[in-house]
């Protein structure tokens, strides 16, 4: 499936330039975090790489067919989308869609409700969960199929510290099982804790693409330096 290669990627919306041109390669096992000010194009880049955003020009290539790649990747939105089913059924649903047997789907769902601390409420409607609980469930629903690629849009935005730690631990665990992650965040501390690579976007342009240690010591972009130190990026 890897590498994922984006070449001359450009996105426009209603005639307005949103993103690009961007050239980018994502290798297996990477944890890449996208940083940048509001409106810089972080979500657009994630959606484009996932294949749910129409490109104005350019290409996105996996080492397998598009149909095959879509089956091996998942996307978790900043505002989780909950099925109008129980917590437990939200976890079995993606497995059953993939023709996993009922017995295996139930076994895996039972393991995951335990992992995310929702076992005691696994039979209530997922729509009744708190924001943090919904985010953990959405992440578990994506990870339960053991994707090779996971895209995350600000998965811990507006969550408390405890829930953020739980989500980060889930992400660290899934990378050990071979999942490659690309996610957006505003949290510089989270970037330092999780990322192997940092992508810095500003006004739709990829200004920096560096190893995490190098990025925070010697960012190649003056705007990235401003962002790191908390200055306003214009």
What pTM did the predictor assign?
A: 0.96
User: What pLDDT is stored for residue 94 in this prediction?
Assistant: 96
pLDDT digits (tens, 9 = 90+) for 168-223: 999 999 998 899 999 999 999 999 999 999 999 999 999 999 999 999 999 999 99
Quick check: 41 and 201 in contact, CB under 8 A? yes
Q: Which residue is associated with the tokens 């199929």?
A: 145
* Contacts of residue 144, Cβ cutoff 8 Å, sequence gap at least 6: 91, 94, 95, 108, 109, 112
Gap between the Cα atoms of 18 and 144, Å rounded: 33
Q: Which two tokens stand for residue 5?
A: 């290669």
pLDDT bracket for residue 6 (50, 70, 90): very high
Burial class, 138, CB count within 10 angstroms (exposed 0-12 / middle 13-18 / buried 19+): buried
Number of structural domains the chain divides into: 1
> Above pLDDT 70, what percent of the chain?
100
User: Is residue 31 domain-resident?
Assistant: yes
Interval 209-224: pLDDT, tens:
999 999 999 999 999 9
211 found inside a domain: yes
Q: How far apart are CA 196 and CA 11, in angstroms?
A: 26
CA dist 170 and 20 (Å) reads 31
Q: Is position 216 within any domain?
A: yes
Cα(9)–Cα(185) distance, integer angstroms? 21
On whether residue 104 sits in a domain, the answer given is no
Q: Examine residue 100 and state whether it is found in any structural domain, yes or no.
A: no
Over residues 92-132, the pLDDT tens digits come to 999 999 999 999 999 999 999 999 999 999 999 999 999 99
Residue 107 located in a structural domain: no
Residue 112 within a domain: no
In the three-class reduction of DSSP (H, G, I as helix; E, B as strand; rest coil), residue 228 is classed as helix
pLDDT of residue 187: 93
Q: What pLDDT shows up at residue 66? A: 81
Distance, C-alpha 119 to centroid of its chain: 25
CATH at residue 208: 3.40.50.300
Domain that holds residue 34: 4-82+129-228
Give the separation between CA 110 and CA 29, rounded to whole angstroms: 27
Whether 62 has a pLDDT exceeding 90, the answer reads yes
User: Tell me, what's the pLDDT at 68?
Assistant: 87
Q: Report yes or no on 42 lying in a domain.
A: yes
């Amino acid at each position: 499936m890897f590498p994922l290669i984006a070449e001359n990627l450009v996105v426009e919306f209603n005639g307005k330039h949103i993103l690009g041109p961007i050239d980018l390669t994502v290798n297996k096992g990477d944890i890449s975090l996208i940083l940048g000010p509001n409106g810089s194009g972080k979500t657009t880049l994630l959606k484009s790489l996932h294949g749910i955003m129409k490109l104005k020009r350019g290409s996105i290539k996996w080492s397998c067919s598009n149909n095959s790649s879509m089956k091996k990747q998942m996307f978790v939105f900043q505002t989780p989308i909950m099925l109008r089913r129980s917590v437990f059924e939200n976890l079995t649903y993606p497995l059953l869609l993939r023709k996993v047997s009922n017995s295996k789907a139930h076994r895996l769902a039972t393991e995951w409700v335990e992992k995310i601390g929702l076992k005691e409420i696994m039979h209530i409607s997922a729509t009744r969960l708190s924001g943090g609980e919904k985010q953990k469930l959405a992440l578990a629903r994506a990870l339960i199929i053991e994707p090779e690629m996971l895209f995350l849009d600000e998965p811990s935005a507006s969550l408390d510290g405890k829930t953020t730690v739980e989500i980060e631990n889930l992400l660290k665990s899934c990378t050990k099982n071979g999942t490659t992650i690309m996610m957006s965040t505003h949290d510089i501390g989270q970037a330092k804790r999780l990322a192997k690579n940092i992508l810095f976007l500003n006004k739709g342009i990829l200004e920096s693409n560096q190893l995490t240690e190098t990025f925070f010591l010697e960012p190649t972009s003056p705007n990235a330096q401003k962002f790191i130190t908390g200055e306003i990026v214009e």
